[in-house]
Chain A
C-alpha cells in the first residue's frame, strides 16, 4: 500500500496544522537552492513565480515560444471558489463535497479539502494581480453556475477565464524574470530526469531551435506539464500538449496513477472530416442557458427550426430533472452518446446533438424589456429577440463567434451542434499530500498529477487546482523537503549522471531519426488515437481493451521500424519533436488500456459496459476498487500495480444521483 503522508487530525485542520509544523528554509539558504519548473501553464507559472518571490533560484522551461502560450490559456468557462459572495449556501465544505462527489468518490479527501480551503485565496490573489474578472454594476465580482453544482461559485472573465488567469500568472512570472530570480527557457523541451543517489537532481532539455541538448541542475524538479489528452489524437488540447515530461519521470520511477480516468467533455464542436487536427470546446457555461435536445423521431432529417417543440426530446431534462442540463460532464457525455448510438443524432454525421439558445434569447429579451419599465404586451417578438441576442452576446459572444468561424453557421439563428470530445485527464503522476511523486525531489502539479478530481472533474475546477498547487501548496510543501537540502551543494552538470542521461537522450534521438521508414509521425498518431478512442473512450469493455493492448503493441513495433522523420537533429525540427511525443503516447496508451482493464467497475469518466445499472447509469464497486491504481514501470510493456487505499472519513460514498 502506498502512503500518501496525509497529516493526522481533523480534516478541517490538516492543512493548517501542516503549515504550522512543516520545515522552513531561511531566506539566506533559499538563495542557494535551485528549483526546476517544467511547464508554464497555471500550475507552472504560478509555482515558478511564487518560488522566485520566496527567493529560490528558479529555472522555468516551456516548449512554446513564450510561457504565455501554455494551454491553460484556452480554458473558457471559469474558476470555482468557495467565497459564497452570492449568499446561496456555499462553503468550503460544499465545494469539497461537490468535488468529491463529482469525482465519483475516487479522489483523496485531504487533498480536495485543502483545495477548497485555498480556493478563496486564489480569487483574492488574481484580483490583486489585475485579472479583470466579470463584475456587476455595483463593482463587485460576478458569479455563474457550472455543471454538477447547485450554487453560483464560478468566477469568470467572459469566455476567456483561462487566458486572463494565465496572463496574471505569466506577468507575475515575468516580474521574477526581470528581478533575476527566475531564468526562463522558452522553446525548450524536457527529455529526461537526472537521478543522483535516488533523488531527482536535474533535467536534460533540448533547445528546440538549435536542437542542442542542455544539462540543468536543480535541488528539486517540478513537473507542471499538463495532461495527456492528445493520446486520443483528437482532443481539445493544444497540438503540442504532450505526456513526455511525465512519461520520462514515470520511467525513472514515478508511479502513474489512474491513467484510464479521462474526461470526455460533452459540449464540443463535432468532427467534420478526416482532415480534422483538433477539436474545439464550447464552454460548459453554455449549458447554463442553452437547452440540449435531439428529435424524438429517429433519423429525422428536418432542419432544427422546422422541428416543433413537442417533437423535441430534451433528454437531459427528461432523465435528470433535478440537475437537467447541468449534470456533470461524464453524465452529459454518455447521455449524448446514448442518443446518437440509438439513431437520434443530428447533422450530416449523425454524431451530434443540438445545443439551443432560442429559449434563453427570448427569456433575456423579456427581462431587458421589464428592466426598461415597458409593458411586454406592447413589444414585438422581434424586438424581444434582438435585445435577448445582445445579452447572450455579452455573456458568450466570443464562443458564438468561434462556433461560427469553425462551422460557418450562425448560432444566434440555428442551434449549435455539439458532441463529446476528449478534454482533460484526471489521471497523472501519483503524488502524496505534499505533491511529491514516488521519486524523491520530483513533484507534479496541476493536470500532470492525479490527486484532486477522482474519476471525473467538475467544470471550473482545473483552473482552481492548477493555481492552488502553484500559488498556495508547493511554496509550503517544497520547503519541507528543501530544508534538508541546504547541506547539499549544487551538483556539477559534469557529474556522470548528467553525462549518462544526456547520452541516453542523444541515442534515442539518433535511433528515431535513423529509422528512415515510410510512414509519417502524424499517421501513427492518428492510428493510436483511433484505437484508444474506439476501445478506451466513452465506453470500455474487457474484450475491446484486450484487443486495444494488442493493437497498441503492434503499432509500437511498426512505429519503431517504419517511422519517417525528415530533417536533422541539430536544427529546428518539429517533426522530430512530435515523433518523440508520439512514441511516449503509444506507451502510455497501452498503460491506459491496462488500467481500464484492471478497473472492472464504472466510475466517473471510466464506464465499463459490464458494470451498469438497469437504466444505464454507471455502477461503482466500492468493495473492490476504492483505491488509486498507481502503476510502477517495470520495463517494456510491463507494470506493477500499487494501490493507495481511499479512506473516506468525512463523506460517506453513495451512488451518485443527479435525478
Chain B
C-alpha cells in the first residue's frame, strides 16, 4: 500500500459543557500521514491547539483497538466514519485524501447528552443493563462448565450478539435515536443460552421499560443501526427481541 501525506480542513463541534450551546469551528491540519489513525490525527490537532494556547478538543477514547466502545465521533454524517464495521479509533487516514473537509460531531440523541465537545453521557446504557441484562447467579453457585451442553449454533449466535461493545453508534445512526439494536443484542445473547432461560421473560420486559424511560425512540426498521454497527450486530436480533417481548407480555398478562 502506498503511503501519502495530506492537508485537511476539519469542521468540529465545540461545546463547553452540557449547559451551553455549541457551534462548529474550522481547523486546518497539515502533513497528515495516511498511516495515522483518525484519533492520531486528532492528537496532532490537539497538540497544535495546545501550542497555540487554545483549548484542545475533548473526545472519548481509550483502547484504540476497536473493542472498548469508548470512542464516539460522528464523521461526515456517519457514526464512526466511512468504513464498514469499524470504530473511530480504527479508522485510518487512508480513507481520506488531500484537501478534504471532514465534519466531526458528537453522537446526537436526547438520551446521550453532550458533556463537552465530542464527549457524550452514555450512562443510560448502564441503566438498561441494570434493569435485567444479566443472569442472576452469585459467585460460587455454578455447576461444572460442561454440565450443560449448548448447541454450537446457539452458542455462536449468542456470541455474535454478545460482541456488542456498547458504543451507541446504533442510537446515533437512527433517525429515532432508538436503542433497540443495543437492547436486542443483550436480550438475544442471554435468551439463546440455557443459563438465561429462568429470567427470560422478566429480563426483556424490564429492559424495554428502562429503555423507554431513558428517552430512546421507537424502532421503525430503517436498518441504519445494523449498517453502522462496528461489530455488525444483526438486525435479526431486533426481530428476536420483539418475539421475546411479545411472548413475555402474553405470559405476564395471564
Residue-wise interface mask of B (139-170) relative to A, using a CB-CB cutoff of 8 A (1 in contact, 0 not): 11111111011111001101100110110000
Q: Contacts A65-B121, A85-B146, A405-B92 known; A471 to B139 CB distance under 8 Å? A: yes
Looking across the interface, which residue of chain B has its beta carbon closest to that of A136?
B152
> How far is A476 from B208 in the complex, measured between Cα atoms in Å?
37
Q: Scan residues 523-576 of chain A and give those whose CB is less than 8 A from a CB of chain B.
A: 523, 564, 566-567, 571-572, 574-575
A78 to chain B, nearest CB (A): 14
A601 to chain B, nearest CB (A): 34
> How far is A73 from B189 in the complex, measured between Cα atoms in Å?
17
A252 to chain B, nearest CB (A): 27
> How far is A68 from B148 in the complex, measured between Cα atoms in Å?
27
B142 contact set on A, CB distance < 8 A: 121, 124-125, 127-128
Q: Are the CB atoms of A129 and B149 closer together than 8 Å?
A: no
Asked if B125 is an interface residue, CB under 8 A from chain A, the answer is yes
A41 to chain B, nearest CB (A): 11
Q: Are the CB atoms of A160 and B163 closer together than 8 Å?
A: yes
Q: Are the CB atoms of B134 and A175 closer together than 8 Å?
A: yes
Q: How many residues of B contact A (CB 8 A)?
A: 79
Q: Are the CB atoms of B149 and A273 closer together than 8 Å?
A: no
Q: Which stretch of B32-40, B96-104, B211-219, B236-244 is in the interface? A: B32-40
Q: Are the CB atoms of A566 and B152 closer together than 8 Å?
A: no
Q: Are the CB atoms of B126 and A66 closer together than 8 Å?
A: yes
Q: Are the CB atoms of B139 and A135 closer together than 8 Å?
A: no
> How far is A49 from B36 in the complex, measured between Cα atoms in Å?
39
A375 to chain B, nearest CB (A): 28
B166 contact set on A, CB distance < 8 A: 66, 68
Q: Contacts A53-B139, A127-B142, A520-B50 known; A572 to B193 CB distance under 8 Å? A: no
Residue-wise interface mask of A (291-326) relative to B, using a CB-CB cutoff of 8 A (1 in contact, 0 not): 000000000000000000000000000000000000
Q: How many residues of A contact B (CB 8 A)?
A: 83
Q: Scan residues 56-109 of chain A and give those whose CB is less than 8 A from a CB of chain B.
A: 64-71, 73-74, 83, 85
Q: Are the CB atoms of B67 and A160 closer together than 8 Å?
A: yes
> How far is A135 from B190 in the complex, measured between Cα atoms in Å?
16
Q: Are the CB atoms of B139 and A402 closer together than 8 Å?
A: no
Q: Are the CB atoms of B39 and A128 closer together than 8 Å?
A: no
Q: Scan residues 54-76 of chain B and give those whose CB is less than 8 A from a CB of chain A.
A: 54-56, 58, 60-70
Looking across the interface, which residue of chain A has its beta carbon closest to that of B53?
A566
Pick from B37, B85, B195: contact of A130, CB below 8 A: B195
Q: Are the CB atoms of B62 and A64 closer together than 8 Å?
A: yes
Q: Are the CB atoms of A139 and B1 closer together than 8 Å?
A: no
Asked if B123 is an interface residue, CB under 8 A from chain A, the answer is yes
> How far is A475 from B139 in the complex, measured between Cα atoms in Å?
10
Q: Are the CB atoms of B55 and A567 closer together than 8 Å?
A: yes
Asked if B82 is an interface residue, CB under 8 A from chain A, the answer is no
Q: Are the CB atoms of B151 and A139 closer together than 8 Å?
A: yes
Q: Contacts A135-B150, A277-B43 known; A128 to B135 CB distance under 8 Å? A: yes
Asked if B201 is an interface residue, CB under 8 A from chain A, the answer is no
Asked if A487 is an interface residue, CB under 8 A from chain B, the answer is no
> How far is A74 from B165 in the complex, measured between Cα atoms in Å?
11
A172 contact set on B, CB distance < 8 A: 134, 137, 139
User: Which residues of A are in contact with B by a Cβ distance under 8 Å?
Assistant: 46, 49-50, 53, 64-71, 73-74, 83, 85, 121, 123-130, 132-141, 157-158, 160, 163-164, 167, 170-172, 174-175, 177-178, 184, 186, 209, 236, 238-240, 272-273, 275-278, 280-281, 401-402, 405-409, 471-472, 475, 520, 522-523, 564, 566-567, 571-572, 574-575
Minimum-distance CB pairs A-B, first 3: A139-B149, A171-B134, A128-B142
Taking A135-B155, A566-B53 as known contacts, 11 extra A-B pairs with beta carbons closer than 8 A to each other, sorted by chain A number, are: A64-B62, A124-B144, A126-B145, A132-B162, A135-B156, A172-B134, A172-B137, A275-B43, A406-B90, A520-B47, A520-B51
